[in-house]
C-alpha cells in the first residue's frame, strides 16, 4: 500500500496527455531555468524512484518504478536543452510550436549561406575554418537564447517565440554537422 502512495504523485503526471515536466521537477514553467537545480532535482527523483530500489518488490511495483524512472529521465532530457524546453513550454501554454509556418525568407537565405560555408570548409578539410564557423554559430545561438528568454519569459510573445524556436532547430542541426565534421577531420 505504501508503494501506491509513493508512486501516486508521479503516476498522475505520467497519464496526462501533456505531462508538465516543470511541475515534475518543482520548477516554475519558464524558458530560463537553473540547470544546476534541474540536475539536483533529477538526482533526487532518480534516487527515490530508481527501479533498483524496487528489485525486492512484486512485478507490478517493479514495472511501475521502471515507468516512473523513464518519465523522470524523459523530463530531464526535455528540460535541459533549450529547444526542447521551449517547445515543451509552448505546448503547455497551448501553442503549437510547429504551426508557426515557414521561417522568414531572410533566415532561410542565411541558412543556405551557413551551409555553403560549412561545405566549403569540409571540402577543403579546414579545421580552423570549421572551428571559426562553430564559434560564430555558438554566438548566434547564445543571442537567440537571450531573445527566447525575452519572448517567452518577459514579453509572452509566444507565436514569435515559436518561429525563433524553429530557427533554433536549424542552428542545432548545423551545429551537429560542424561538430561531426570536426570530429572526422580531427581523426584524419
State whether 73 and 110 are in the same domain.
no
Task: Please report the pLDDT score of residue 16 as a whole number.
Answer: 52
Average of per-residue pLDDT across 22-30: 95
CA angle 9, 30, 165 (to 5 degrees): 115
Q: Domain range for residue 156?
A: 105-187
By CB atoms closer than 10 A (0-12, 13-18, 19+), residue 45 is buried
* 91-149: pLDDT as tens digits: 999 998 887 778 889 999 999 999 999 999 999 999 999 999 999 999 999 999 999 99
Return the closest-CA partner of residue 184 out of 121, 114, 141: 121
Task: Please report the pLDDT score of residue 185 as a whole number.
Answer: 87
* 42-100: pLDDT as tens digits: 999 998 888 887 777 778 888 888 888 899 999 999 999 999 999 999 999 999 888 77
Decide if 183 is inside a domain: yes
- Cβ atoms of 136 and 74 within 8 Å: the answer is no
State whether 132 and 175 are in the same domain.
yes
Identify the residue with better confidence: 36 or 2.
36
Decide if 141 is inside a domain: yes
Domain count, the chain: 2
Decide if 93 is inside a domain: no
Amino acid at each position: 500500500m505504501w508503494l501506491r502512495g509513493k508512486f501516486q504523485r508521479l503516476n498522475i503526471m505520467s497519464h496526462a496527455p501533456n505531462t508538465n515536466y516543470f511541475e515534475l521537477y518543482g520548477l516554475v514553467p519558464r524558458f530560463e531555468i537553473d540547470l544546476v537545480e534541474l540536475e539536483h532535482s533529477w538526482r533526487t527523483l532518480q534516487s527515490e524512484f530508481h527501479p533498483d530500489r524496487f528489485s525486492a518488490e512484486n512485478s507490478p511495483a517493479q514495472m511501475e518504478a521502471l515507468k516512473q524512472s523513464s518519465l523522470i529521465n524523459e523530463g530531464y532530457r526535455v528540460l535541459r536543452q533549450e529547444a526542447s524546453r521551449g517547445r515543451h513550454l509552448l505546448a503547455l501554454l497551448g501553442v503549437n510550436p510547429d504551426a508557426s509556418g515557414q521561417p522568414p525568407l531572410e533566415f532561410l537565405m542565411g541558412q543556405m549561406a551557413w551551409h555553403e560555408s560549412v561545405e566549403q570548409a569540409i571540402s577543403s578539410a579546414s579545421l580552423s575554418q570549421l572551428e571559426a564557423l562553430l564559434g560564430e554559430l555558438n554566438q548566434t545561438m547564445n543571442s537567440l537564447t537571450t531573445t527566447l528568454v525575452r519572448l517567452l519569459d518577459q514579453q509572452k510573445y509566444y507565436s514569435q517565440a515559436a518561429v525563433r524556436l524553429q530557427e533554433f532547430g536549424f542552428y542545432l542541426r548545423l551545429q551537429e554537422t560542424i561538430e561531426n565534421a570536426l570530429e572526422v577531420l580531427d581523426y584524419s
